[in-house]
Each structure stands twice: as structure tokens, then as C-alpha cells.
Amino acid sequence: MLDTVTRRADAEALDRADPLAARRAAFILPEGVIYLDGNSLGPVTHKAKARVAEAVATEWADGLIRSWNTAGWIDLPARVASRIAPLIGARPADIAVGDSTSVNLFKLLSAALDRAGGRKVILSEPGNFPTDLYVAEGIAELKGAELRLVEDVAAALDDRVAVVMVTQVDYRTGRKHDMAALTGKALEAGALVLWDLAHSAGAFPVDLTGADADFAIGCGYKYLNGGPGAPAFLWVAPRHQEAVSPLRGWFGHAAPFAFENHYRPAEGIRRFLNGTAPVLSMTALEAALEAYEGVDMAAVREKSAALCDLMIARVDATCGDLVTLASPREAALRGSQVSFRFPDGYAVMQALIARGVIGDFRAPDILRFGVTPLYTRYVDVFDAVEIMAEILTDRSWDQPQFHKRAAVT
């Protein structure tokens, strides 16, 4: 049990026994910083840093336009898809990489409504990530549909629901949906399901194929470590790939370099591509994903649960009377993060960052800590909680500089 880890030496012993410990060397992590915000932005890997520099210095500077062929730029989306596929339980042939999560959501929500047999309700949760809800609002207006927000999605399924749009892991609390169970209920009700994997892909095993899901989107800059604004991905079950995206870019054309005036969609998943791939960003993401080569995602999940359990146990022991656990206590019900509520959470997080512990704040009162098993150590979690307990106990967070809001919180 993780509540027996009461000394720093206990955490160090867990790190020595950790089968994933060697993976930390793949990442560039600043000295003196405990980074617990990989669920917002993953750190750079050594290989990504080197590959982007190489792409600029040789492929772009020397190869110029020739590099579309000589450096394989044209194949980047497919190569990145092949690295993402094993992390989400999918075939590379069913994944398109490019654009942002918002653009990909727009494409897939539109396609889902077109395939819904006249149903017009998009069903989601009021706590879903705001961008997803904003995109859904726009699609509903364009398509004459209704966005319906309910606390219990499964209970609200009826014969009017076209598509269920949910994020597998709640971005504030870390609460995790049972993908197979919810997908099964939606399919029984005749609805399609679109999963947002922003806080899932790379954090724990995902099995879209096994769950018989319809559509999914995910981002490249959180647990996949592709860099700020990294290309996102979408997944479409083979049974839906004859759908056509409302955004029809030339790389989704059957013959892009025929330069035809009329759009002819490519076969399969490639029709969901749009314009030119962002080569430098895609290069960074491809290289970053090498950190997952040969990794057993079951081991990632086991360590993730243990790290989160340790954080909860240590907070309970040191400052549990000062904060409220916002995440599920049971590991099976949460993703790879732990969140706590505190009325002045923003100021506490700024004080933590000033002490070298980087998590983040989510309004109105959430202190959010992401754990990434490839580089987060048990001793990182132990030390982070010790520092947080000090800050809360001595109220050192209550200083003017920590209350001043920055543009990005």
C-alpha cells in the first residue's frame, strides 16, 4: 500500500525498482524542477530537439522543396499515425494526423451527424472541455441540431441522440469514463460515439477497436510530448470512412497533384486530411513518440495508478485537512492526474511553481497535478507533496505576487 511510503527513502526505493525508470533519460527536464504538468504540455525529448534542428538545417535549408520527396515529408502523417496507433488500440490506416483537436472535432462531429439517420441531438456533459462544447455549438447551429448537456450521459440516451461526444478523462478532476461500457450503451440506443482522448492517449492503455467506438480525436502536445500546438489526430472506425469531411483540403483529394477543380475524396482515412502538413511540428511529434517504443502500456497504467495513489496518501497524511480531493480515490475511476480543491488554488499553485513544483490551476478552485510515468518519479511526488504541505501550513501562498493573475493560468 502506498500509505506505507512515509519517508523519502521509501520513494527512492520504489524508483530503484521501477521498470520504466530508464525512460526518464529520453526527456530534457530542468534541474531543480518537479514537473507535474505533462497533462497540459509534455516536455521536449532529446530526440525531438535534435530532429527538429536537423530538419531545419538540412531538410529545409539544404533540401528546400526537394525534401517533400527526398526527406519523406509527404509521408509524415502516415508515419506519425503508425506511432500513435498502438497507444490507442487502432490500426495506422484508421488514423489521420494533422490540424488541431478543434478542427478535427469539427470534421468528425459533422460527419457523425451526417450518418445519424436524421437524429439531431449531440449529447455531452456540462463539464466537458469548453473548446469541445464551443465546436459542438457551432456545428449544431450549422446543421440545425441541438447540443444537450447532461450530468449522466448514459441515462439521457434516447432515440433522438445522434452522437455522444465525451472526453474520456475529465480535464479538471481526472474522472475516467469506462469507454467500453458507455460506447456499448450508446450503440444499443442507436447513437454514435465520439471520444476525446486528449488526457488519455499516452497516459494509459486505450482500446478504441475493442470498445467498438465510432470516432475519436486526440492532441499531440500533452502525454505525447509533441511540443506546444503539436498536430492532433483523429480516428474513424472503418465502417464510417466513406463519410466525407466538410473541410476538403487538397491532401484529402484522391489525386492532390492532378490539381483538379472538383473535389474527389481519397479512399479511406486520407480523405480526412486537409492542407499541407506542418512539417516541423510533425517532425517533433514523430521523434517524441519514439519514447514509447517498446513500452508496455499496462506497465504505464500500473505506475500511473501508483503515483496518483502515493500523492493522495501523502496529502491525506500531511495536509488533507486543508485541501479537498477532487479526483476519484479509486484508481480505476481516474486518469493519470490528481486534483485537489482549495478556495485560493491559483495563489497556491503560483507559490508551488515558485518553489519548483509545476502543476497548474483550473478555475474555479482546482490544483491539478499530472503524472507521466515515463518521466515522473515516486520521489518527485513525495517531494511535491512535502512542499505543498509547507506552503499550505505556513500560508506562504498568501502573498500579493501569488494572487496576481497571469494571462495563462
What grid cell was written down for 41? 504540455
> Residue with C-alpha cell 502573498?
399
Using alpha carbons, select from 319, 328, 168, 142 the residue that is nearest to residue 247.
Answer: 142
Instruction: Compute the residue count for the chain.
Output: 409
* Non-local CB neighbours of 357 within 8 Å, separated by 6+ positions: 34, 36, 383, 384, 387, 388
Residue ranges of alpha helices (H) inside 35-75 are 46-54, 67-70
- The active-site residue, picked from 221, 340, 342, 382, is 221
Strand partners, 121: 146, 161
- Alpha helices per DSSP H over 24-129: 46-54, 67-70, 76-88, 101-114
Choosing from 83, 175, 368, 377, which is the catalytic residue? 368
Our answer to whether residue 296 is catalytic in this structure is no
196 is catalytic: yes
Minimal CA–CA distance to 162: which of 114, 228, 224?
114
Catalytic residue list contains 160: no
Annotation marks residue 8 as catalytic: no
Rounded Cα distance between 283 and 224, Å, is 13
Which is the catalytic residue, given 129, 204, 233, 292? 129
408: amino acid identity, one letter = V
Residue 98: left (phi > 0), alpha (psi -120 to 50), or beta?
left
Catalytic choice (99, 170, 196, 214): 196
Q: Which of 51, 119, 222, 314 is catalytic?
A: 222
Q: Give CA 80 to chain center in angstroms.
A: 16
Classify residue 374 by burial, with Cβ atoms within 10 Å: 0-12, 13-18, 19+: buried
Question: What distance in Å separates the CA atoms of residue 83 and residue 295, rounded to the nearest whole number?
Answer: 12
Task: Give yes or no: 129 in active site.
Answer: yes
Catalogue the active-site residues. Answer: 129, 196, 221-222, 368
